[in-house]
Amino acid sequence: MGVSTETIAKYYSQAFETFDKHREPPPINVSFYPYVGINHTIRIRNGQVFVRIAEICSDLPASAQRALALILVAKLYRRRVPAAAKDVYGAAVSTDEYRVRAVQNKRRHGRKVITSPKGQVYNLDKIFDSINYAYFGGGITKPTLTWSVRKTYRVLGHHDATHKTIVISKSLDSPTVPKFIVEYIVFHEMLHIYHPAKVINGRRYHHTAAFRRNERRFAHYEEAERWIERNVRKLKREAKKK
């Protein structure tokens, strides 16, 4: 059985005192919310603090709830999160039990918007097949491939292991974008399939040393990195156009 919301609220009061000893903690409201994954939020409205904790974490032990309080309040104050709090909370939610809960919950309630692998300029199916043959010997099982609904510039690609989907930003489906850039982003997301995330000391790592080594195998790696760095502002402008 988990800790009551009233007790958790006290942890947040203590966390506020940790980061601001000279000010009385504001009224704190804690609730469990049906987020799809392991997500939590903290907001201040009209002088009150509202904390929403993922329902699947409602039975976290007191130590992990205290650590989460320190993490969220630190972020609210834009302060460095205490390393000990990171370790305690990370160890609690990185167990197999919580990972399975998150995946099952995402499969039940999550919704992945799928458009089409065939864009106006580039066909993700064909690019995947050529990359798979050239770099993985055809050994990667093809996931669902789709262009994003909207143009984005911060995230150019995303691999969703739960829904077995690779999403590529619509910003790259343009005649002004070289084909090797789309290939590079697809290759990067395929590496996430080839190198699944690892949990080390309670922390989840997606870009391991092996991942980074293999990423450099891409024939146009340095050229692709330079192109993205030079064109990020242009992608941003295009993404913000109505």
Q: Where are the domains of the chain?
A: 5-109, 124-240
Give the model confidence (pLDDT) of 94-147 as tens digits. Answer: 876 767 676 666 666 555 566 789 999 999 999 999 999 999 999 999 999 999
pLDDT exceeds cutoff 60 at 211: yes
Are both 5-109 and 124-240 of the same fold?
Answer: yes
pLDDT band of residue 155 (cuts 50, 70, 90) is: confident
Give the model confidence (pLDDT) of 170-196 as tens digits. Answer: 999 999 999 999 999 999 999 999 998
CATH second-level architecture of 5-109? 2-Layer Sandwich (3.30)
Domain 124-240 CATH superfamily: Metalloproteases ("zincins"), catalytic domain (3.30.2010.10)
Q: Alpha helix locations (H) across the chain?
A: 5-19, 62-76, 83-93, 96-109, 124-136, 179-194, 209-215, 221-240
SS3 per residue for 13-78: HHHHHHHCCCCCCCCEEEEEECCCCCCEEEEEECCEEEEEEEHHHCCCCHHHHHHHHHHHHHHHCC
